[in-house]
Amino acid sequence: MVAEIPQSGHDGPYPAPVDVRGFTVRPDWIDYNGHMNVGYYGVAFDQALDVMLEEHLGTGKTYAETAGAGPYILQSHVQFRRELLEGEGFRVEFRLLDHDAKRMIYFARMFSERDDALCATQEALLMNVSQQTGRGAPFPDWAQARIARMAAAHGALPPDPAVGARLAIRRA
């Protein structure tokens, strides 16, 4: 099954970056150190990504339910900058860095709503995957056009030093 016409999202223009708001650190996300557990940063980024894909590109939940394909994260790199506490609100900004017919690389930054402090970043590779074959599949033409428009809008953003960061132990 192929989604011939989009069921959600819009054709642009797209904000640069896309700002997704309305999240709160849940009590069950808190670990024994009294802050949001490392695993829940991934959950939080994923929930914000779902909103961005659904509301802007139209390649989120509705697309997955109607197209027989959907977005899978293949690789993710998260950097933790500052803790988030129970009940604290946060927002996530997304910028699209690169894309081809079936993949996107995005960079996201998570900010506290309390003081706008940067709390975490995520750089991830996402692929459109066929639910029938379990393999990568090109996005439909309408989605590829939207992705290209968003990438063009985000291409004008200044570079972020966290993009492409590698794991390393700093030595004096």
Q: What is the pLDDT of residues 118-138, one digit of tens each?
A: 999 999 999 999 999 999 999
- How far is 164 from 103, CA to CA, in rounded Å? 17
Report residue 158 as tokens: 């200044």
H runs (alpha helix) in 68-171: 141-154
- Cα separation, 82 vs 130, in Å, equals 37
In single-letter form, the type of residue at position 125 comes to: L
Q: Which domains does the chain have, with CATH numbers?
A: 18-154 (3.10.129.10)
Strand order in the sheet with 69-80: 18-24, 89-99, 103-112, 118-130, 69-80
Taking residue 140's Cβ as centre, other Cβ atoms within 10 Å add up to: 20
pTM of the model: 0.94
What confidence tens digit (pLDDT) does each residue in 95-126 have?
999 999 999 999 999 999 999 999 999 999 99
Task: Evaluate whether 118 touches 81 at the Cβ level (below 8 Å).
Answer: yes
